[in-house]
Amino acid sequence: AGIGGFGDPWTDPIELWHRVVDVNLFGVVHGVRAFLPIMQQQGVGHIVNTASMAGLGAAPGLAPYFATKHAVVGLTESLFLELEALGSPVGASVLCPGFVKTDLMNKEPASIDSPLGPLIAEFFRTGVDTGIPASDVADQVVAAIKAGQFWILTHEEMRQGPVERMQRAAAGVNPTLNTGS
């Protein structure tokens, strides 16, 4: 489960944040808490938590979405390390896809009343409409589980962005708005 939670994160009612955190973050927490004990007891299993490339970056107007996706990456990496430290037979991976053809935008309002709302909605609608098929993502997830791979980054062309972000962080360079020009 996942929602964009589009709106103005700084002036809309705080319920916008609660809704996005409840679905995007607590949905993952509840899933791990429900299935990890069973997998541990059975001595086999692999948890794949879905974050997003948004969990490795930032963008204006989407703070709740990006914050929850960052949280899922951190939660899953911590889980992976904990399972490794305990010698658990259960594995963990984090799925960070770019745009995938899903019904994500069907859960969002038709119009977004915020300064960046129309641009964000159009960006996401176009991205989802032109995204990779979900079956391609599924194939990559299965291959990653078989390989014991933690990171599942589905879009090769997007992998350099997080690397460049960390290089800017290491160099103490402030974030910049990438307008594509």
Name the residue with higher pLDDT: 109 or 50.
Answer: 50
* Least confident range of 69-78, 117-126, 135-144: 117-126
How far is residue 72 CA from its own chain's centroid?
Answer: 7
DSSP codes joined into one string, 65-80: HHHHHHHHHHHHHHHH
Asked whether residue 60 carries a pLDDT value surpassing 50, the answer given is yes
Indicate left, alpha or beta for 172 from its phi (over 0: left) and psi (-120 to 50: alpha): left
Provide the whole-model pTM.
0.88
Q: List the structure tokens of 47.
A: 């948890």
Distances (CA, A) of 148 to 45, 56, 81, 84, 154: 11, 21, 13, 11, 16
Asked whether residue 95 carries a pLDDT value surpassing 80, the answer given is yes
Q: Which residue, among 171, 129, 150, 158, has the nearest Cα to 59 in the 3D structure?
A: 158
Write out pLDDT tens, residues 2-50: 888 888 899 999 999 999 999 999 999 999 999 999 999 999 999 999 9
* Least confident range of 79-93, 107-121, 156-170: 107-121
Write out pLDDT tens, residues 62-75: 899 999 999 999 99
Q: What is the rounded CA–CA span in Å between residue 70 and residue 44?
A: 27
Helix (H) or strand (E) holding 95: strand 90-96
Name the residue with higher pLDDT: 116 or 63.
Answer: 63
Q: What is the rounded CA–CA span in Å between residue 47 and residue 30?
A: 12
Active site residues: 65
Q: Give the pLDDT confidence score for residue 127 in this predicted structure.
A: 73
